Structure 1
Amino acid sequence: MSSLKTRPSDASPVEFIQSVEHKQRRADAETLLTMFTQITGRKPVMWGESIIGFGEYRYTNTRGTYSWLMTGFSPRKSNTTIYIMQGFEKFQKELAALGKVKTAKSCLYITNLGKIDRSALEDLLMKVVSDMELGTTAPDTAQF
C-alpha cells in the first residue's frame, strides 16, 4: 500500500486548538470539536499538523490504496476548512441553507461560525457521515 504525507498522529487536537493564534478560528474550532465528536460518535485525531479528523475510510486509485479521514476540519489563517470528502453535489440543499460560505472540491470554507446557520451545518454533517458510513458516494473501492 502506498502512503500519504498526511497521516494520523498521537498529537492532541485540544492542544492544537489551544495553539491557534487567531481568536475567532480558535473559538470556532472549540465549537466544531464538540459538534463533530457528537455527530460522528468518533474521537478526534490529528492528521498531519493541522487537520482534526473524525473516522477513517480506505480508498483505492491508480496510485494505490490509502486511508483518509471520513470528515474533519482545520482552523486555517484565513478561514476554517471543513472537509466533506464526497464533495457537495449531493448536498446542494444543505449547502444553500448554511448561508454565505465558499467551497472547493471537498472543502467548505467558513470565516466565522457565528455567521452561518449552525443547525444547517449540523444537518449537513449528519448527512455526510451517514452517506460515508453507507458508502453511497465515497469512491467505488472505499472500505470502512
Structure 2
Amino acid sequence: MAEIKTKPTPVDVSTFIDAVEPAVRRDDAETLCTMLERVTGEKPAMWGPSIIGFGSYHYLYESGHEGDMCRLGFSPRKAELVLYVLTDDPGQADKLARLGKHKTGKSCLYIKKLADVDMAVLEEISRDALAHMNAKYPQ
C-alpha cells in the first residue's frame, strides 16, 4: 500500500504562515489559525507540506486503508483558503447558506478571503465539525 503523504511534519507553523503569499492570504491564515486553535483547544501542526491541522484521529475504511489525519485543518493556497471542516451533517447546509461567498467540495470549504464570509458562522461551522469528528472518532 502507498505511503500516506499527509502526516504531521516538524515544520514550524509560524514559519510556514510567514511565507504565505499574498499578504491578505497570510493575514487570513493567521486569523484562521487563532480561531481553530480556540475552537479545538489544540496547538496547530503542519500536516504534509501545506495543511495546518488541529488535533488528530485514526481512521480505518472497510477496504482496509487506514491512517491518521487532523480533526480540523486548513491550507492557505495561493488562489484561496481551503478549510477541512465539511461533514455529512444535513444541518450544515443552513449554516453554509449564511456564511457568505464560498465554494464547497466533498469535505472542503473554499474561501477566497475571510472578508467575504461571516466569521461567526465560520466558527459555528468549525465547532459543529469538531463535534461531528469527536462523535465519529472519539479520542
TM-score calculated relative to the size of structure 2? 0.91
Matched residue of 1:78: which SS? coil
Separation in structure 2 between the aligned mates of residue 90 and residue 3 of structure 1, nearest angstrom: 35
1:32 corresponding residue in structure 2: 32
Equivalent position amino acid for 2:95 in 1: E
- The alpha-carbon deviation at position 131 of structure 1 amounts to 1.4
1:125 corresponding residue in structure 2: 126
1:91 corresponding residue in structure 2: 92
1:64 corresponding residue in structure 2: 65
Equivalent position amino acid for 2:100 in 1: G
| Closer, same or farther: CA 91–126 of 1 in aligned 2, 3 Å | same
RMSD: 1.8
Matched residue of 1:28: which SS? helix
1:138 corresponding residue in structure 2: none
Equivalent residues, number: 138
**Greater strand share, 1 or 2?**
1
Unaligned runs of 5+ in 1: 136-141
Separation in structure 1 between the aligned mates of residue 138 and residue 131 of structure 2, nearest angstrom: 14
Report the more deviating stretch, 33-42 or 89-98: 89-98
- Kept in 2, the 8 Å contact 1:17–1:30? The answer is yes
- Kept in 1, the 8 Å contact 2:86–2:109? The answer is no
Q: Which consecutive aligned stretches of 4+ in structure 1 deviate over 6 angstroms post-superposition?
A: none
- The alpha-carbon deviation at position 2 of structure 1 amounts to 7.0
Matched residue of 1:34: which SS? helix
Matches within 5 A, 1:1-144: 3-61=3-61, 62-84=63-85, 86-87=87-88, 89-135=90-136, 142=137, 144=139
TM-score calculated relative to the size of structure 1? 0.88
Unaligned runs of 5+ in 2: none
